[in-house]
Every structure is written in structure tokens, then in C-alpha cells.
């Protein structure tokens, strides 16, 4: 991660998972007070022109401003799609490896109906094409061919097209999340298709949390003290830089759009440049609470489910 300060509770030893370690000690980074969403905006996105040229040098293959964005895990890489809703949609695939570097030398194509266009390199890990015809695309099938594997990813485009801006929805959901008194989080964090950890978090404002990794370590944090326990061991106490909770994993959002909605929920996507990563949230309309989050970031593919909002949860030092 390029900016660890934006992470409230990052499972930092995921690199050990990538190496296939049998016994993994998960280190939770809690020594940062997460900044607010300085890069966020509730203003409508301005009209955009079709991009030209390439990303500068080895720059991270971020989506072009104003695009509708999608992200997923592809083995141990990030595979992301950006569709710029101009007269002839601009299509960009971003391929990022476990070190956060753009992956060069893969063959990328985009299929829209019966038409196929080939993505031209536009920088490190960036591949771009322009749709062969004008109009709203119904779906885009991204094909990424490597020497040893090929990924085919069908992505349904939202309706209406272009989809509504969701910056103000994400901003309000973020404020709501930060104002919670308590919540429970169930998350799954993976580095690739075979290495993952599952964790249950109990969060109590303003500075308490407890977590337990399935078949792994546990910890309790209360103010400036913490207690850690590995399987078969005893609780070990240590100093702790006070944390600020609840704090979401995203601290910025660009290109936020409504992908779909029901009577009760929005499903929105955005790109977070401070992570950097691609996010998708399910947000309850009535309460403006995020209920579900999916994140694709460098070597970190996370799914979180939020529950037990404002319930009388207790986090206290463990019994010795």
C-alpha cells in the first residue's frame, strides 16, 4: 500500500500468505489516526472528453476521470475496468501485480456485442480502446491473455446509462459510518485465489476494538493498551497508540456511480486514489449505513459485511 495511514486495521502480514506460510501471525496496523476523506467531493462530476495519449511513465494505471469503474481479483493481480461514458465509450483495463506495479506485456481485448476491439498499451498496466460505435453499451467482456492463462470477465453495464453520480451518497454513508457507536464486521481478506484469512471484528467508539481470526490470533485494543494472543498462547499486553474508530477502509472516492438499486439499497462503485484501489459498497437508503464492502487493492482482496449497528457491545481487557 502506498499510504498505510489510510488503513484503520490492515492485516499487514498478508505477504506471508502469498508465500504459502503454514503458520501465519497477522499483524494489525493500528498506530495511525486515519485522515478524513479529503479527496472526496459531493459535487457532480464535470463533463469529460475522450482521453488521449498514455499514462505518464510508470504511473499507477488509475481510471480516467469520470469513468464508471469495476474491479476484481485475477489470480494475485488486480483486474479493473473503466468505461468512460462519452459518445463512443472509452474502455480501459488496469492490471496490477502484488507489488503494486502495472503488468505489461499481456494481451487485452474488449467485446461489446459482436464487436471486439484490442486494447493498446497506455502506460504501465494500462490498456485502452474506443468502442467501435456510439451508444450505451449493455455489457463489456474483458479478455486478458497471458502466456500461461487467459481470463474472460463479462461485466454488465448499469442502467440507466450513464449511471447516476454517487459521490454525495458515498460521502453521507462515510459520515454515517464514522458516527456509529458500535458495529460488528465479518471480513475475508485474500492475497490470491488460495490464501485468505477470515476475521470477526467488534468495534466500539471511540477507541476500542477486538478481533479474532478464524484458527488464528486474536487481539483486544482499549485506548492506549492492547492484548494479543496466538493459538495455544496466553494474552500478552503492550502499549498501543490510541486509535480512532469506527473508521472505514476508504478515505477518498473518485468516479463514484450507482451501479444498481432496489427500493432499499444502492450498489455503488468508486476508485480510491489514496489506497489505491477499487471499491464497491451496498448502502441502505433509509439509514445510509454501508452494509457490504468489496475492495480490490494491491495484494489485498477484501469482502466485509457490517452488522450489529449501535448495539450495546462491550470491548474490555481479557481476563488474565
**Tens place of pLDDT per residue across the chain (320 aa):** 333 333 333 333 333 333 233 223 333 333 233 222 223 333 333 333 344 444 544 589 999 999 999 999 999 999 999 999 999 999 999 999 999 999 999 999 999 999 999 999 999 999 999 999 998 999 999 999 999 999 999 999 999 999 999 999 999 999 999 999 999 999 999 999 999 999 999 999 999 999 999 999 999 999 999 999 999 999 999 999 999 999 999 999 999 999 999 999 999 999 999 999 999 999 999 999 999 999 999 999 999 999 999 999 999 999 86
Q: What is the DSSP letter of 175?
A: H
Distance from the Cα of residue 71 to its chain's centroid = 8
* Residue 68, C-alpha cell as written in the block: 464508471
Predicted local confidence at residue 59, as pLDDT: 83
Nearest in space to 290 (alpha carbons), one of 161, 179, 205: 179
The three-state DSSP-derived secondary structure of 92-152 is EEEEECCCCCECCCCEEEEEECCEEEECEECCCCEEEEECCCCCCCCEEEEEEECCCCEEE
Asked if residue 270 lies in contact with residue 258, where contact means CB atoms within 8 angstroms, the answer is no
Predicted local confidence at residue 186, as pLDDT: 98
Residue 185, phi then psi, degrees to nearest 5: -125, 130
What does the alpha-carbon distance between residue 199 and residue 183 come to, in Å, rounded to a whole number? 14
Q: Kindly give, in sequence order, each residue whose CB lies less than 8 Å from that of residue 117, ignoring residues fewer than 6 positions away.
A: 91, 109, 110, 129, 130, 131, 132
* Residue 51, C-alpha cell as written in the block: 482521453
* Residue 218, C-alpha cell as written in the block: 486474536
What does the alpha-carbon distance between residue 9 and residue 42 come to, in Å, rounded to a whole number? 26
pTM for the full predicted model: 0.85
Give strand pairing partners of 204: 182, 208
What does the alpha-carbon distance between residue 41 and residue 171 come to, in Å, rounded to a whole number? 7
* Residues present in the chain in total: 320
Q: Which helix (H) or strand (E) holds 91?
A: strand 90-96
Distance from the Cα of residue 316 to its chain's centroid = 30
Peptide bond between residue 206 and the one before it cis (omega within 30 degrees of 0): yes
What does the alpha-carbon distance between residue 285 and residue 268 come to, in Å, rounded to a whole number? 12
Predicted local confidence at residue 53, as pLDDT: 42
Q: Which residue matches cell numbers 454517487? A: 166
* Helices and strands (H and E) in the chain: how many: 2, 22
Helix (H, G, I), strand (E, B) or coil at 179: coil
Amino acid at each position: 500500500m502506498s499510504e498505510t495511514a489510510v488503513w484503520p486495521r490492515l492485516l499487514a502480514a498478508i505477504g506471508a500468505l502469498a508465500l504459502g506460510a503454514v503458520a501465519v501471525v497477522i499483524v494489525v496496523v493500528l498506530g495511525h489516526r486515519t485522515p478524513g476523506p479529503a479527496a472526496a467531493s459531493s459535487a457532480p462530476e464535470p463533463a469529460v472528453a475522450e482521453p488521449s495519449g498514455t499514462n505518464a511513465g510508470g504511473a499507477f494505471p488509475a481510471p480516467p476521470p469520470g469513468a464508471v469503474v469495476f474491479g476484481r481479483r485475477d489470480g494475485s493481480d488486480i483486474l479493473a475496468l473503466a468505461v468512460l461514458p462519452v459518445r463512443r465509450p472509452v474502455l480501459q483495463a488496469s492490471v496490477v501485480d502484488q507489488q503494486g506495479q502495472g503488468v505489461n506485456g499481456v494481451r487485452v481485448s474488449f467485446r461489446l456485442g459482436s464487436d471486439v476491439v484490442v486494447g493498446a498499451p497506455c502506460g504501465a498496466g494500462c490498456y485502452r480502446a474506443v468502442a467501435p460505435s456510439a451508444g450505451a453499451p449493455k455489457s463489456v467482456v474483458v479478455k486478458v491473455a497471458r502466456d500461461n492463462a487467459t481470463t474472460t470477465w463479462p461485466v454488465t453495464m448499469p442502467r440507466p446509462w450513464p449511471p447516476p453520480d454517487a459521490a454525495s451518497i458515498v460521502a453521507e454513508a462515510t459520515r454515517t459510518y464514522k458516527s456509529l457507536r458500535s458495529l460488528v464486521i465479518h471480513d475475508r481478506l485474500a492475497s490470491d485465489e488460495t490464501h485468505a484469512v477470515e476475521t470477526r471484528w467488534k468495534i466500539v467508539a471511540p477507541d476500542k476494538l477486538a478481533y479474532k481470526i478464524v484458527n488464528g490470533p486474536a487481539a483486544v485494543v482499549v485506548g492506549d493498551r492492547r492484548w494479543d494472543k496466538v493459538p495455544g498462547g496466553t494474552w500478552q499486553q503492550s502499549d498501543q497508540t490510541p486509535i480512532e474508530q469506527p473508521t472505514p477502509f476508504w478515505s477518498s472516492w473518485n468516479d463514484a456511480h450507482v451501479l444498481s438499486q432496489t427500493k432499499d439499497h444502492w450498489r455503488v462503485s468508486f476508485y480510491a486514489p489514496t489506497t489505491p484501489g477499487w471499491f464497491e459498497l451496498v448502502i441502505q437508503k433509509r439509514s445510509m449505513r454501508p452494509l457490504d464492502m468489496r475492495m480490490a487493492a494491491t495484494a489485498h482482496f477484501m469482502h466485509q459485511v457490517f452488522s450489529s449497528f449501535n448495539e450495546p457491545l462491550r470491548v474490555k481487557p481479557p481476563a488474565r
